[in-house]
Amino acid sequence: MAEVIVVENADAAGELIAASIRALIEARPDAVLGLATGSTPLPIYRSLARSFADRPLDVSQVRGFSLDEYVGLPAGHPESYRSVITRDVVTPLGLTPGNIHVPSGDPAGLPAAGADYERAIVRAGGVDLQILGIGRTGHLGFNEPGSSFESLTRVKTLTPQTRADNARFFASADDVPVHCITQGLGTIRRARHLVLLAVGEGKAAAIAAAVEGPVTASQPGSAIQLHPHVTVVVDEAAASMLANLDYYRYAWANKPAWQGI
Ligand code: F6R
């Protein structure tokens, strides 16, 4: 079962997860991080940047793999996930740019891009800690409903709902690409620790389906139930549709101090 931790707000979530990532890097300086984009993980990256500024840590060997990329945006487009990862993660955290990978959304290379990305993850020894957000459709990465739990990095078609949700980053919904390249649910499930963060009531249904619903490809988030080490961090609003909330709070309050997340 996933460990569900209810926190006061997004900043508290960011601090909790950032502390865990820092501990991982202290123990393993060449740790492999799975990076998510979108709004949700920003407090994690901000908290990590503060932590590194307060107490410097050598992060030059840290490696990273992004979950996904839009297909067909021109190189250097400010909303390409390559640009976003550079702006929000690589630069503020002082990571080594060559160690941070994003799948290529260049249409010319698409037939080989998924397999290339999978090989790169395997060569790195796999992902130690995968940061995840969740879409209102229940997607992890951009694995929209119907995605196979065994899927690997490949091209997917974004749902109209996801394109509308991400229109805030573009001039209009029509400018949001229709296609993306995303790690599969099978890729994500191979990471050794999944940390899923969600804030706001717009995510409450997707979180309840992921944590407590039936395991079904119709709710890609439910793939987390097949993983042995999952931490779900939510604010009160995102937690509001969870049936077993009292138990999650009880378990967190009584968590052994040695355990970590
Ligand atoms: C981002 C990603 C997506 C987002 C999800 C939530 O790399 O793979 O699964 O995590 O769409 O997006 P936000 O955080 O913007 O609500």
257 CA → ligand 1 middle, Å:
31
Query: Ligand 1: which residue has its CA nearest to atom 3?
Result: 141
Ligand 1 nearest atom to the CA of residue 66, by list position: 7
The residues of the chain scoring below 70 in pLDDT are none
Cα–Cα distance for residue pair 252/107, rounded to 1 Å? 46
Position 243 scores a pLDDT of: 98
Position 177 scores a pLDDT of: 98
Position 184 scores a pLDDT of: 98
Task: Judge whether 7 and 233 are in contact, CB under 8 Å.
Answer: yes
Return the best residue to mutate from 42, 66, 67 for the ligand 1 pocket (most ligand atoms within 8 A of CB).
67
List the domains of the chain with CATH numbers.
3-255 (3.40.50.1360)
Ligand 1 nearest atom to the CA of residue 139, by list position: 9
Task: Judge whether 140 and 223 are in contact, CB under 8 Å.
Answer: yes
CB of 161 closer than 6 angstroms to any ligand 1 atom: no
First CA to last CA distance, the chain: 13
Q: For the sheet with 32-35, list strands across it.
A: 3-7, 230-235, 193-198, 129-132, 32-35, 63-66, 100-101
Kindly report the pTM of this predicted structure. 0.98
Neighbours of 30 (CB within 10 A): 14
Position 75 scores a pLDDT of: 86
**144 belongs to the catalytic site:** yes
Cα–Cα distance for residue pair 155/142, rounded to 1 Å? 9
100-101 vs 3-7, strand pairing mode? unpaired
